Amino acid sequence: MKNLDQLAVYCGSSAGTDPAFAEAARATAAAMVREKIQLVYGGGRLGLMGMIADSVLEMGGFVYGVIPQALVDIEVAHPSVTELHVVETMHERKAKMTELADAFLALPGGIGTLDEFFDAWSWNALGYHKKPFCLLNVGGYWDGLIDFMDHATSSGFMSPKRRSQLLVATTPEQALELLDEAVTAATQGMVW
C-alpha cells in the first residue's frame, strides 16, 4: 500500500446471523495489519466492531476508537484500544473518524453502519473531503443496496459520476487495493 495509512471501518455492533460476517471482520483485520494500515472505528467492544478491533490488536496493529460518552457510560467502549477518543455526540464521532481516516470501508451492519457510510459519501459529494469509500460485499450482503444505488442513478437522483465513486469489493484484499488506488489518485489531484 502506498498512501492508505488509516482506514475507517464501519460495521455492526452485533455479529449478524452468518458466520461469514465475523470471518470477514477478522480477515479485514489481518489484511490491514499485513499492509500496516491502522484501524479507525467506532470504539465499541461488541459485534463485528469488537471482533475487528480485537483481531487488529492481537496481531500487533494500531486501533483508534472513537465513541460518544453515552456509549462509554453504558460500558460498550472497548477497554484495550491503542487510543480512545471520547466525544459528546454521534456527529462528533463521525467527524473525528473522517478526520483520522484516509478512506472508509463498510462491512455488514445496520442503520448505524449505513448512517456513517452515507455521511462519508455525502460529505465527499459536498466537497468536505476527497476520501474514497468502499463496501465489502460479504456473501452478497450489500447487493440490495448496490441495486438501489443503480435505481437512484437511473431515476435521476444520482449522477453516473457520483455512482461510479462507490467502490465494491468481495475480499478485504481487493477492498484495500481499490481504496489505496483511490487515495493515491486523490493525492495526485484527481477528483474523488
Whether 1 is covered by a domain: the verdict is no
pLDDT in tens, 138-178: 999 999 999 999 999 999 999 999 999 999 999 999 999 99
φ, ψ at 137 (rounded to 5°): -85, 75
Whether 165 is covered by a domain: the verdict is yes
Q: How many domains does the structure of the chain reveal?
A: 1
CA–CA dist 28, 173 (Å, integer): 8
Whether 190 is covered by a domain: the verdict is no
The answer to whether 21 and 138 have CB atoms below 8 angstroms apart is yes
Q: Side by side, which strands form the sheet with 133-136?
A: 83-87, 63-68, 38-41, 6-10, 103-106, 133-136, 167-169
Q: Which domain holds residue 112?
A: 6-185
pLDDT in tens, 55-96: 999 999 999 999 999 999 998 999 999 999 999 999 999 999
The answer to whether 64 and 88 have CB atoms below 8 angstroms apart is no
CATH classification of the domain holding 147:
3.40.50.450
Whether 192 is covered by a domain: the verdict is no
Please, is 161 exposed, middle or buried when counting C-beta atoms within 10 Å of its C-beta (0-12, 13-18, 19+)? exposed
pLDDT in tens, 110-120: 999 999 999 99
pLDDT in tens, 4-36: 999 999 999 999 999 999 999 999 999 999 999
Whether 118 is covered by a domain: the verdict is yes
φ, ψ at 45 (rounded to 5°): -110, 0
Whether 37 is covered by a domain: the verdict is yes
Whether 60 is covered by a domain: the verdict is yes
- Grid look-up 462507490 returns 166
Whether 191 is covered by a domain: the verdict is no
Q: Report in angstroms the alpha-carbon separations of 19 from 14, 16, 31, 45, 57.
A: 12, 8, 18, 18, 21
